[in-house]
Structure 1
Amino acid sequence: MPEPDQTPPRATDTPGLEAEVRALREELSFLRRHRMFVIYQSVPRILFFRFAVGMAAGLGTVIGATVLLSVIIWALSQIEFLPIIGEWSAQIAQQIDAAVNGAD
């Protein structure tokens, strides 16, 4: 802690401090021009951006679940030799075939 009779250093006392402050100001002005800062300065833009992110996440979840379930069902339909799982997977495959053929 400085002594009471000492004064804090000023920008003119340290030549490097002025350059550092100038560089800091330039960085801050660069950050203010960054795309995310420009987007977040408008409420409608924020709402649209968040809506688009939510739609993309929802679509990705639906597509991922569809692919995962189809792979699981296909794998289960291939193992008909197991007593319980084989019968169950055969019933699922028959129901899917009936639904697909009935929809045509």
Structure 2
Amino acid sequence: MSENEPDKLPDLHADLKALKEEMHLLNTHRFVRIHNSPWRLISFQFIRGLAFGLGSVIGATMLVSVLAYMLSTIDFIPIVGEWAKEIVDMITRNGTTQ
């Protein structure tokens, strides 16, 4: 053993204590606790999937309606303009009947 080895021991104890505290914080983190239980994980992923699906549907609906409206204002392309106007008319008719 060299002369410097006893000086490193207090540092090693402090490092081990800090590592133990960090591992405790990591193990008590919400993300780790969710993944420790299969039922919690399944319910978390189910709710996450519902939120993703709902957001996708709402986003796609808004995007398609804005795109259809913009296409309906195009008059210089006869086929696309008429087709988009029919879609807008169909949407407004269905919206007023409900």
Partner Cα separation in structure 2 for residue 94 and residue 38 of structure 1:
52
Instruction: Quote the sequence identity (%).
Output: 43
Q: Which consecutive unaligned segments of at least 5 residues does structure 2 have?
A: none
- CA displacement 1:52-73 (0-9 Å, x = unmatched): 0100000000000000001011
Q: Quick one: distance in 2 between partners of 1:100 and 1:16? A: 72
Number of aligned positions between the proteins: 94
TM-fit CA distance, 1:13: 5.8
CA 97–34 in structure 1, closer or farther in 2 if over 3 Å, else same: closer
Larger Rg: 1
CA contact (8 A) 2:34 2:41 kept: yes
Give the TM-score, by structure 1 length.
0.76
What is the alpha-carbon distance in structure 1 between the residues aligned to residue 85 and residue 33 of structure 2? 56
CA-based RMSD of the aligned residues comes to 2.1
Describe how 1:22-101 pairs up with structure 2 within 5 A: 22-101=17-96
Structure 1 segments (4+ residues) deviating >4 Å: none
CA displacement 1:9-60 (0-9 Å, x = unmatched): x7x5622111101110111011111111112221110110000010000000
Which structure exhibits the higher relative contact order, with contacts defined as CA atoms closer than 8 Å and separated by 6 or more residues?
A: 2
Report the TM-score when normalising by structure 2: 0.80
